[in-house]
Amino acid sequence: MNSEIKEYDDRWIIQPLRGSRIANIEWRPDGFEFHLDSGFRIAAGYGAELSPRSLAEDDPDRHAITYWPKSEIERTLTEPIVSPVFFKSGSLRIGFRNGWNMFVSDRRPEIPAEVFWGDILIWNRSGIANQSDYPVVTVDKWSGARIQAPPWPSRPADLELNYDSDDIND
């Protein structure tokens, strides 16, 4: 299992989610939570959408998760996750091996969505929240190669700060 989060210019791929399966779905009054066999949890509101094949936002087969009976969702989403994509726009797309996809659209900012590793928040609609055991590596979108940036310079020892000033530029 790859333990990195790949960062592209518009998205993150949370590699440790690949191959995870939903062990249990917790149905809450305001949303649901997928408990994965890998220790991750994915929580979202009931406005999250499912589609049996298409990635298109206007596909006629793409519906809110409440469109299907809970028992059918629990039966359908048993395959491993193959595509855990979290966009910097705040949306997400999780693809399952059987072709089903779950979406939270950036057009619906009121729908909550979060990813946890245990109790540690990893991602929410604002972006990567905690890198914990999963380092974020920047990847070139064309070549797939890692982008190695030079390290940030350390703070100069002779930097004088005026902590009594109200000016943020002091």
User: For the chain, what is the mean pLDDT?
Assistant: 87
Q: Give the 3-state secondary structure of residue 89.
A: coil
Q: What is the pLDDT of residue 161?
A: 67
> Is residue 153's pLDDT more than 80?
no
Q: Give the 3-state secondary structure of residue 73.
A: helix
Longest dimension (CA), the chain: 65
Backbone φ/ψ region at 51: left (φ over 0), alpha (ψ -120 to 50), beta: beta
pTM more than 0.85: no
